[in-house]
Amino acid sequence: MSPTTVAPPPRLELDPRVVRRARTLARRLGRPVVDIARSHTTVSVERATLRLAGLAGADHERVPWVNHLVDGVREQVGLEHGVTTPVWDALRREEAPDLLTLAQKASTGSVSFRIPEKKGELSAARRAARAAVRPGIRRIDRQRAARDRLVGRLGDPPHRPWVYLIVATGDIYEDIPQAQAAARAGADVIAVIRSTGQSLLDYVPEGATREGFAGTYATQENFRLMRAALDEVSKELGRYVRLTNYASGLCMPEIAALAGMERLDMMLNDSMYGILFRDINPVRTFVDQRFSRQVHARAGIIINTGEDNYLTTADAVDAAHTVTVSQLMNEYFAREAGLPDQLMGLGHAFEINPEVPESFRMELAHALLARQLFPDAPLKWMPPTKHMTGDVFMGYLLDGFFNLAGAMTGQSILLVGMMTEAVVTPWLSDRDLALQNVRYVQRAAGGLTEDFRPPPDGFIQTRARQVLSEAVDLLERITAEKAPKGSAPLLEAIGDGTFGLMKRPKDQGKGLDGVARRADGYDNPAITLLEEGTR
């Protein structure tokens, strides 16, 4: 699944003992968080399970039926046992003839839910729920197989890195021709960014949308429309064009399920982004994320993590080691959820202040460190934004250096930088100029990974070792200092503002009221099927 390597990336002389220590510490910090994720559920996990069972649509006020049904169960019996047992028990008791009608009746409070006390009734409800959810999992399997067939027939881009371009007007019917035009101009991955604020909506909008703000709403119908459009242009161009959206925010599990069913290829999915930059409750985030990554693993979807965001709030030199720590944590959580390295698009960014002496050499050191720590991961390399100004000539030069760094260090996915980034909403002409910049660097320097070899103990080698050492020091400090405060030191560190200068306590944040501790009898057939790996 990862982009084809043209030449082996340059090597850094890192101490393997330090690398092993870093991963050991990440594993030690991650395990208690996984234990919390495995012992809790959320409204979004339960809604995602109902979506896999085929429940879709919304009422006249655009409130999805999955929200109505989960809320009805929660009000009567709670979420501690999961929603599928009381839902399919109600169907077996003929409270409604089908799932949609049951949800509609639940919206008016005219359904009685219970947890069956008799063993036979309990087992029958759970068998019925598993049978209802299985087709959704099989649909994800079929979509993954369809992707494999298309890639086999049409092929992947012949170059590395893949060119990743954002297209999002707010109107899906405007996005489609722009996305196809971008693919014809050289884009390999089309990212449809979400409407501003959608990550804080505790529901997924329904249908095709035309009114997004600084982005387009992520909906199942929008996914379907854009995937069909990119399939069309893929056949025209003779290469498979990938589609990206965002599995983050309060509906992370639901969007992951919809993406799997509609064959998206990449999803933004970071372990701490929603916590730090959207103030979503940490426990809610980690529970939702584990489920979403299980779905991504089943669907063969590459995740893109968001370490670049740390460098927009903290200094890119002083905080470089926090990026490495986050990458290590993202790797641990992804592997634990079943994602192989080939689906981990770990993120990093070209965000050092250009006024800093030797800034480009430091960028190369940071990029090579990520490339070597995660050799099989399709790393996502992000362009400069923080230090972009109204000087478009300097901006274009910075983007050229960014593209060159990506070529020299063997990055896998390159988000196209634009000269007016972070100043105004870029014009289409800016996008065309940005793609020209990328194409020039790929033609002129695409093979530099073969020739670029930092000298032993030189500036780049020394800087990379320093960042790795600082990352290990931070991991050890979190492990030692935060352990007495609770069973999950990583959550304590997040609460203290260790990452991105944001303090996010584990008992605060949006979405906390949608978290429930699992009872001993908790059952979720989607999780069971995902963990069994049933085809």
Q: Which residue is catalytic, options 288, 308, 430, 523?
A: 308
308 is catalytic: yes
Q: What share of the chain is helix, strand, coil (3-state, %, to 5)?
A: 55, 5, 35
Beta-strand runs (E) in 409-468: 413-415
Q: Does 273 participate in catalysis according to the annotation?
A: yes
Instruction: Give the chain's radius of gyration (CA, Å).
Output: 23
The length of the chain is 535
Q: Which of 380, 482, 506, 510 is catalytic?
A: 380
Q: What does the alpha-carbon distance between residue 7 and residue 450 come to, in Å, rounded to a whole number? A: 6
The catalytically annotated residue of 164, 246, 273, 310 is: 273
Contact status, residue 55 vs residue 204, Cβ threshold 8 Å: no
Residue of 272, 276, 259 whose CA lies nearest to 220: 259
Whole-angstrom Cα distance, residue 236 to residue 232? 7
Query: What are the beta bridge partners of residue 202?
Result: none
Alpha-carbon gap, residue 530 to 535, rounded angstroms: 9
506 included as an active-site residue? no
C-alpha to C-alpha distance for 68 and 45, rounded to whole angstroms: 14
Residue with tokens 């971008």: 182
Q: 351-360 burial string, b = 16+ CB within 10 Å, else e?
A: bbebeeeebb
Cα 103 to Cα 68: distance, rounded to the nearest angstrom: 6
Q: Which residue has the tokens 């006020």?
A: 61
| Contacts made by residues 139-142, CB under 8 angstroms, sequence distance 24+ | 139/260, 139/261, 140/257, 140/260, 140/261, 140/295, 140/298, 140/299, 141/298, 141/535
Q: How far apart are CA 189 and CA 266, in angstroms?
A: 9
Which residues are part of the catalytic machinery? 273, 308, 380
